[in-house]
Structure formats: structure tokens, C-alpha cells
Structure 1
Amino acid sequence: MTSSFSNLSLAEPLMRAVAEMGYESMTPIQAQAIPVVLAGQDVMGAAQTGTGKTAAFSLPLLQRMLKHENSSTSPARHPVRALVLLPTRELADQVAQQVKLYAKHTSLRSTVVFGGIDMKPQTVELKKGVEILVATPGRLLDHIEAKNAVLNQVEYVVLDEADRMLDIGFLPDLQRILSYLPKQRTTLLFSATFSPEIKRLASSYLQNPVTIEVARPNETASTVEQHFYSVSDDDKRRALKQILRQRGLKQAFVFVNSKLGCARLARSLEREGLNTTALHGDKSQDERLKSLAAFKAGEVDLLVATDVAARGLDIKDVPAVFNFDIPFNAEDYVHRIGRTGRAGASGLAVSFASGGNDVRLVADIEKLIKRKIELEPVEFEEDRPRGRINDGRRHWRDEGEAGDARDVLDQPRERNGEARFGRSTRPHRAPAAPRDPFFEKPYESPEREAAPSWEAAAKATPARGISNNIKSKRKVPALFKSTEAQPN
């Protein structure tokens, strides 16, 4: 197998684009897949994330479609000939940008369609005619039903991150889309992991595929240093900040399992002084793209995200990935930590397990990656300076030093060697209040206890021959005089 792009029989416009992007040597998946795709065979490829799968299918497809290249402005001369399906909007946008860069010196047109934004600009692009269409399944079906996309001349189909598309329930959509395509076509299926469901999908839609595996399925990159820490839920943020500080990390992914947890954690870290942004499904597409662009540009230090960012995102030189929550699906662990250690670079993957259900999830990861996982304790740094004690009045002093009874707030605040107010360095003290000698006398008990007030009141009341608790009748004036008492 050739290892240099210069040894491939690619057209000059494609070779020029590759050279401008700075690529010289091919990755293992590219070296094995490109010649097979150039020969027109179906491919079922498995490789670790970050190994260049996009170029592995884009370059040979563009090479084969150069025979249809033309400069006509008629949309009929630019039908869709290659369809690339991806599970997430961010990944679709990233692949479309890569395809444009590879085809920029040709007349082949490409565009991308995905949900979360207005369909009208996408419709305008589709009506102009494109040869390469990159799409997410849901939005593509919308355009098909609106008669904006016609797929009866498609010659090449790429299912990228196919296992993820099955995980999030895209199988019915995939089946509907594939039913619109010609039976005679070249189908390429690429994924970081192979599951039994993926193999069944391949057997249904691929014809005698060439299986390419450049690494053991579900294997993590050897360049990624992995650690699992046993931390309570309340101490996870503290452990995250301590590791960032100790390792001197400038940027990192922080993955959580829920959209609500993602938003809350991002706000909490932002309040604690960390430059943070969130990426999850409840955000609008414009917000998601802005967050991703800010992180790529280095304007944001921490990207707190759900698994929407776990697949295929190519952000170079990210030094670390934190699993704030252990993923429910063990295969998602492989994808999450694949965001670091890309293209042979070293990376760090840190996972926090809080016991209970997390222990079972860690056991699933251990079984998947076939590696023994040890939960390490976290030794937190002291919150106060070592060798110093607090005298209880917000004032630190060294051990063995004589304590000063004055409050630290009573100390003068100096600026440039002078007191804050005036030139005097003596602390201001308020005059002492006069003391009352009564409060300094010891307690003296009375010689004879006084009788309770109610007993004194009872004794003062004269005896009437009836109980003191019985009230006398209230006298009211009579309204009518009695006739019986009147004399004749």
C-alpha cells in the first residue's frame, strides 16, 4: 500500500487541494480505503475517530465524479451524484467544509442540509444543482417530500458514523432514503465501531463489500492517557478544577449525560471563573455552531457538551476530555475520548465515577475496551495555607505565633506604604462604651421566694361562700315590668 498522496493516481486539482491543506502522508484507513473506492467497490470501514475517514471517501469519490464536471449554469447539468449521510448537524457541517476544500479547484458543486435552521436558503442551493449533497436524514426527507432534492441519479452513497445513526433511531429514515436511490450504486459505510446491527445493515444494502479494519473494533487510541477517579457528585467540580490546574490544561471537553445537566454545569463553571460554553440539543443550531466555532478558535477554554459532540468532531490539539458523567453506552466512551489524542498527538481522558450505577457502567467500559480499570481516589489540596491556623476572627496566623485579639478588619489597609486614610499607620479604634456596674455583680438569690401573682390575687379577694372560679350573673335592666307583682 502506498503511504504518500503523491503516489496516488489522483487528478491534479485534487492533488493541489491536498497539498494546500498540508497533507503529505496517508493514514492507515486512507491508504487502504482510497484504492478500493477508486476501483468502484463497496466498502465497510472501521477505524478509530480522528484517523481521516472523511478524506478516505471524499477524495476517491471526487476523482470518480470528475468525468461529470462541467461549468454549465443549468441545474439539470448538476444532479446529485454523491450522497453523504451523517447523524449530527455539527458533523454534517464539518464534513461539508472538508469536501468543499478538496473540490475547490474543480467545477463540482456541493452543499449541506441539516435541521435547526430555515429550509429556504438550503432550497435555493439545491435548486441551483449540486453533485455532492451532505445531509442529516431528517432534514433530507423534508427536502425530498418538498420535491427540492431528486436522488434518482445518485451513484455513490456514504453512511458515516452509521452506528450512531442507528443508536438515535435513524434506521427507518435511512431505509426510506435508500428506497429513493438507484439499485446500481456504490455504497460506503464507515464507523468507529462495528455492532451486530451495523453488520445486518451492511448485509442489506452493500454488495460484496470490502471490509477494512485498521484497528481492533472499539479500541481506544494508545496515545490517550486514561484515568478513572472515584469522586462523589458534590466533589466533581472541585476535582475537575484541581486537575485542570495541576496539569496546566488550557482547553478541554467536559461530557455530561443530560441536556439539563450540561446547561447547569456550564453556568456553574462560568460563575467560578472558568471560560465555558455549552453544547446540547436544546440550543438552536446557530448557538451550537457559534459555541463550536468559539471553542475551535480558542476563545473558550471548556466546552461542556452532551454526546451530540462525541462523534467525529475534528478539533485539533484538544489536550483533554473529562467524562463528568460516565456514559450510559460503553461505546460512547470510545467516541468521547476520541476527541483528544487525534492524529497521533498525546491526550488525557479523565472519568469521574460516583459509585452505585457508575460502577456498573465502568464495568461495561472495561469489558468493551478489554482493559482493567482501577478507580483512583482523589487527594484534594488543602483549602487553607499549610502551617497556618485560623483564630476564628477571619485572620490567619502562623502556628506558634502569639495571637492578636484584634480583628483583621481592624488592621490598616496600606497603599504604597501609607495608611488608607491619612498618614497614620495606627489602627483606628472606637471609644469604649461606659460600663454599668450592675451587670458585673454576682447573682444573688432572694431570701424568700415571693408567692405567685395568681395566689396573691386569690388571697386579696374576700370569701363569698362560692368558688372564685364561678362568675356572678350579669345584671341587665328589664324591658317589661311583671304584672304579677303589681297590687290591685
Structure 2
Amino acid sequence: MKDRDWRIFREDFSIATRGGSIPHPLRSWRESTIPPAILDIVDEIGYKEPSPIQRQAIPIGQSNRDLIGIAQTGSGKTAAFVIPMLEYISHLPSLTEENRHLGPYALIMAPTRELAQQIEAETKRFAIPLGYTTVSIVGGRSVEEQQFNMRNGAEIIIATPGRLKDLIDRNILVLSQCRYVVMDEADRMVDLGFEQDLTFILNAMPEDYEKPADFVEDVKEGPMADPQQHSAAAGQVEGEKGWKGHRVTTLFSATMPPIVERLAKQYLRRPATVVIGNAGEAVDTVEQRVEFVAGGEDRKKARLQELLRTLGLPPPMIVFVNEKKTADMVVRYVQAAGKRATTLHSGKNQEQREAALQSLRDGDTEVLVATDLVSLI
């Protein structure tokens, strides 16, 4: 394909890029430099075609380049950062008695425990067949349990910033050999007040692997580019399992408020930027209709019940509310409309939250009434 053809290809998938030396996007899974072992997992999971963010972010990630990805929730970002991350880890020595106490090779941070656990489930689908261990570090679980899960080391840790900072503060976890960092839903982490925690964690990263401020990538264009060149561009080859590269930092966000831009400027080195569609818009599969209901609470209750009875939408459904006390009230309205319903909000403990989500997935619950705690699920 010529340059014009690649431009049209990117336009077809609403892919925009900035940063220079951007490799061509993936046209298909098999037409790529993704290792065969990972491609076999992609086939087993059943991914037919890469999503737009996967098409462009994966080739950039394979070049071990820092990346800013602007894409909506539900656009396939997890595989977009997990696949390059696992390829990076494959160059590093196996965890042993000598190095497992030095912490993980890769760290993924997410704003809520529910999203962290969702990322964990998806990451394990790739990591377990490759022999890698993934551990989640989130609030709502005992520190002792999480410390036990890390007893044999873990190549990948998925964490919420608050609990992760707590474990670092208490010297339960170190990041002495962390070389791959992912911040997912960075704007949401900032909204939830995690900016200082993020800064603390990123400052705890070892300087040994930091890219110099004037670091310049030398990346060949095209999805069939030589992965050995990518490895050499990011570090140096010291034997098949002794490969040593600079740390890769990636940031994914639906929007880029000033605080997130400041984080990116401080901790990412000459990043490539990928924007899918228009920042802040819903994915194409979401139909948005806005209806204003005038009047008091009785009018709102009646309209909600009418919609639940007449729209004919199949479960599962989620009704979002702005406060947990409102959720407990609205769930009764939903049940009065003849729907099996439950709630999920910050007043629930972790076991209750997981039970509510699982009930929705299993079909035992038709409607989940929730605060924005689950807006990232």
C-alpha cells in the first residue's frame, strides 16, 4: 500500500496520530509482527479483527515507544496495551528466587477496583498460557491476602493507585525492576483524586530504566517492520533472555484535561499519540437519546417504570443515579415495574459489589441501579 492508501485506511477507522515516525496500523492480526504464541491466543479468545485502537496502538507499542491513546471506554484498549506489554516481558529474564522480590516487570493502574479486576481477567487470558503471573492490588481486599498472592513474584501487577501507594509506603511492594507502566482511564483517576498517588508511584520507578529526555526512536514504517529493530531502538540486546530496554510508559484516556496533559508531559518521553474518533464521544455502537422529565419525583418514577415496561430492551440494563441513597430508592421503583433489580454503589463492600455484577452477568438480575462507580465497566 502507498502512503495515500494508508491515509485512507486510517480515515476508514477514524484513526488520527501525532508524534512522527508512526508505524502503519494493522490490517489484520496475522499480518503483523505479533509473536505467534500471542496470535494463537488471539485466535483462541475469538478476536476476529483488531479494533481501531488496537490497529494503531499495538504496532506503536511493539516499537517500545511511549504512547498516549485517546479512545472511548469499551473500544478494546486492554488488548491494545497488554499484547505489546507481554511481548516486551518475553525479552526479560524469568522470575526466580534471585529477582522475584524486586517487584513486577509491568504495572497497570486503573481508577476503580471493578475496572482493575476486569483488566485482570482479560490480561490473564493472555498471560496464563504464556506462563506469566498476574496479581491485582485493589482496595476492599485484605493486604495480607494480596501479599500472599505476591509471595512467588508476579510479572504483572494491576492496581488502583490508592492501595498500591499504601503497599509501597509499607515496604510490602517495590518497583525496582518495573519497566512497563500503563495508566488506563487516566482522566477518571484524576477525577477521583488520585493525581498525588500517581505522582508518588511514578516517582518510585527506578531511574535505571528511564529514557533520557532527548530519547529519539528509530522505528521502521509498516506493520511488518523487524521486531529486532524495535528492541534495539528501545535498549540493547544482551542475549535472548538478557534483553534490557528502557521503561515504556503508556497513558490511555477518554479525554485530556490539563492535569492529565501535565502527567503525560512529565513522565512520557517523546510519546506517539493515537486518537480514535473524537475525544469524549461515545462509541459508535451506543445510541444516545436524551429525555427531560419535568415535574417532581412521582413523574420521574412513572416515566422510568413506563420506559422499563415498554421499550422492549433485553437485559442486562443499567440505571445510573448520582447518589447511593438515590440508588436504594430507585431500585424499588424498578422492582415495582416487574424487573429483577439490585444496586451497586460505594456503600457496598467488595463482596457485595462483585455479587451484584456477577448476578447481572448471569442473568439473575435484569437491571442494575448504580452510581458512576461502574461507569468504566
Question: Structure 2: which amino acid aligns with 1:285?
Answer: Q
Q: How many angstroms does 1:226 deviate by?
A: 2.1
How do 1:215-364 and structure 2 match up within 5 A?
215-231=277-293, 232=295, 233-251=297-315, 252-311=317-376, 313=377
Q: How many angstroms does 1:48 deviate by?
A: 1.7
* Aligned partner (choices 76, 83, 100) of residue 124 of structure 2: 100
Which residue is 1:435 aligned to? Answer: none
| 1:198 maps onto 2:263 in alignment | no
Q: How many angstroms does 1:244 deviate by?
A: 2.3
Which residue is 1:158 aligned to? Answer: 182
Helix, strand or coil for the counterpart of 1:212? strand
> In the superposition, relative to structure 1, how do residues 152 and 73 fare at CA in structure 2: closer, same or farther (>3 Å)?
closer
Question: Structure 2: which amino acid aligns with 1:300?
Answer: T
Q: 2 CA distance for matches of 1:78 and 1:8? A: 33
Cα deviation code 1:62-112 (max 9, x no counterpart): 011112363756663884111101000100000011111011211221110
> In the superposition, relative to structure 1, how do residues 223 and 272 fare at CA in structure 2: closer, same or farther (>3 Å)?
closer
Question: Structure 2: which amino acid aligns with 1:308?
Answer: L
* Aligned partner (choices 116, 122, 125) of residue 146 of structure 2: 122
> In the superposition, relative to structure 1, how do residues 5 and 78 fare at CA in structure 2: closer, same or farther (>3 Å)?
farther
Helix, strand or coil for the counterpart of 1:153? coil
* Aligned partner (choices 141, 146, 151) of residue 170 of structure 2: 146
> In the superposition, relative to structure 1, how do residues 145 and 196 fare at CA in structure 2: closer, same or farther (>3 Å)?
closer
Asked whether the equivalents of residues 58 and 81 of structure 2 are also in contact (C-alpha less than 8 Å), the reply is yes
Which residue is 1:421 aligned to? Answer: none
Q: 2 CA distance for matches of 1:35 and 1:20? A: 21
Asked whether the equivalents of residues 69 and 107 of structure 1 are also in contact (C-alpha less than 8 Å), the reply is no
Whichever of the two has the greater Rg, that structure is 1
Q: Which has the higher contact order (CA 8 A, sep 6+)?
A: 2
TM-score, normalised via structure 1 length: 0.61
How do 1:13-28 and structure 2 match up within 5 A?
13-28=37-52
Asked whether the equivalents of residues 75 and 127 of structure 1 are also in contact (C-alpha less than 8 Å), the reply is no
Asked whether the equivalents of residues 70 and 107 of structure 1 are also in contact (C-alpha less than 8 Å), the reply is no
Which structure 2 segments of 5+ residues have no match?
1-24, 211-246
Q: Which structure 1 residue ranges, 4+ long, deviate > 4 Å from structure 2?
A: 71-75
Which residue is 1:133 aligned to? Answer: 157
Asked whether the equivalents of residues 17 and 103 of structure 1 are also in contact (C-alpha less than 8 Å), the reply is no
> In the superposition, relative to structure 1, how do residues 201 and 76 fare at CA in structure 2: closer, same or farther (>3 Å)?
closer
Asked whether the equivalents of residues 126 and 148 of structure 1 are also in contact (C-alpha less than 8 Å), the reply is no
Which residue is 1:381 aligned to? Answer: none
Asked whether the equivalents of residues 305 and 333 of structure 2 are also in contact (C-alpha less than 8 Å), the reply is no
Q: 2 CA distance for matches of 1:186 and 1:162? A: 16
Q: 2 CA distance for matches of 1:250 and 1:271? A: 18
Which structure 1 segments of 5+ residues have no match?
314-488
Cα deviation code 1:449-486 (max 9, x no counterpart): xxxxxxxxxxxxxxxxxxxxxxxxxxxxxxxxxxxxxx
Asked whether the equivalents of residues 186 and 260 of structure 2 are also in contact (C-alpha less than 8 Å), the reply is yes
Asked whether the equivalents of residues 85 and 158 of structure 1 are also in contact (C-alpha less than 8 Å), the reply is yes
Asked whether the equivalents of residues 71 and 107 of structure 1 are also in contact (C-alpha less than 8 Å), the reply is no
Q: 1 CA distance for matches of 2:278 and 2:121? A: 29
Which residue is 1:82 aligned to? Answer: 106
Cα deviation code 1:130-187 (max 9, x no counterpart): 0100000111112112222110111011110000111111001111111110231211
Q: 2 CA distance for matches of 1:78 and 1:150? A: 6
Q: 2 CA distance for matches of 1:43 and 1:193? A: 15
Q: How many angstroms does 1:23 deviate by?
A: 0.5
Q: Which structure shows the bigger proportion of residues in helix conformation?
A: 2
Q: 2 CA distance for matches of 1:292 and 1:92? A: 14
> In the superposition, relative to structure 1, how do residues 145 and 197 fare at CA in structure 2: closer, same or farther (>3 Å)?
closer
Q: 2 CA distance for matches of 1:124 and 1:265? A: 40
RMSD value over aligned CA atoms?
A: 1.7
Question: Structure 1: which amino acid aligns with 2:264?
Answer: A
